Amino acid sequence: MKRAVQAKGWRQLAAWMLAACLALPLPSPAATKMKLRGYVTARVDDRTLAILDDQLELTTASVIKGQDAAGERAMTMAELGPGMLLEAEGQWLDRHKFFAEKVTVDLKDAERQIHGAAYLQEEPGETSKISGGEAAALKADGYWLDVTAQTRREWDTAKVAAPNATGGGTPAKDQALAGYQVKYSGVRRNDGRIGAERIELGAPAPVDAYKMPHDVAVVEAKDPLTGIAVIEFRHGNKVQGRMKLFPVRGVQEYVTTLGNSLLPAGNQGTSKALEFRFFVVEDSSINAASLPDGTLLINTALLGAIQNESQLAFVLSHEIAHVLQVHYWREVHETRGQRVGLIIAGVAAGAFIGDIGLFMAGLGIASVVNGHQRELENQADRLGLQNVIEHGYDPREAPKFCRMIIERYGDRSTSKVWSNHDSSLLRGSFLTVQLMRQYPESQFEQMKRDSSAFRAMREAMGPVKIE
Residues in the site for Zn ion, rule: CB under 5 A?
377, 380
Q: Residue 47 or 374: which CB sits closer to Zn ion?
A: 374
Minimum separation from the CB atom of position 371 to Zn ion (A) = 6
Q: What is d(CA 266, CA 325) in angstroms, rounded to the nearest whole number? A: 11
| Cα angle: 272, vertex 275, 280; to 5 degrees | 150
Compare residues 271 and 370 and give the one whose CB is closer to Zn ion. 370
CB of 10 to Zn ion, least distance (A): 25
CB of 423 to Zn ion, least distance (A): 9
Which residues have C-beta within 8 Å of that of residue 429, sequence separation ≥ 6?
Answer: 38, 39, 40, 41, 51, 52, 399
Nearer to Zn ion, 34 or 380 (CB): 380
Helices (H), 137-210: none
**Which residue lies nearer to Zn ion by CB, 124 or 384?**
384
CB of 367 to Zn ion, least distance (A): 9
CA distance 459 to 449: 17
Minimum CB distance to Zn ion smaller for 281 or for 343: 281
Closer residue to Zn ion in complex, CB, 55/287 = 287
Which residues, including other chains, have CB under 8 Å from residue 95's CB and lie 6 or more apart? Answer: none
C-alpha–C-alpha distance, residues 59 and 373, integer Å = 32
Q: 22: exposed, middle or buried (C-beta count within 10 Å: 0-12, 13-18, 19+)?
A: exposed
Q: Between residues 345 and 376, which has the closer beta carbon with respect to Zn ion? A: 376
Are 115 and 108 spatial neighbours (Cβ–Cβ below 8 Å)? no
Q: With contact defined as beta carbons under 8 Å apart, do 357 and 347 qualify?
A: no
**What does the longest C-alpha to C-alpha distance in the chain come to?**
67
Helix (H) or strand (E) holding 1: none
Cα–Cα distance, 79 to 174 (Å, whole number): 47
Helix, strand, coil shares of the chain as percentages rounded to 5?
35, 25, 40
For residue 120, the minimal CB distance to Zn ion (Å) is 20
Q: State in angstroms the smallest separation of the CB of 385 from Zn ion.
A: 13
Measured from the CB atom, the residue of 123 and 377 that comes closer to Zn ion is 377
Residue number with CB closer to Zn ion (240 or 379): 379
| CA end-to-end distance (rounded Å), the chain | 38
CB atoms within 10 A of CB 54: 22
List the one residue out of 60, 35, 34 whose CA is nearest residue 46: 60
**What's the rounded Cα separation, in Å, for the pair 190 and 188?**
7
Q: Please, what is the minimum distance in Å from the beta carbon of residue 290 to Zn ion?
A: 8
Q: How far is the CB of 450 from Zn ion (least distance, A)?
A: 23
**How near is the Cβ of 380 to Zn ion at its closest, in Å?**
5
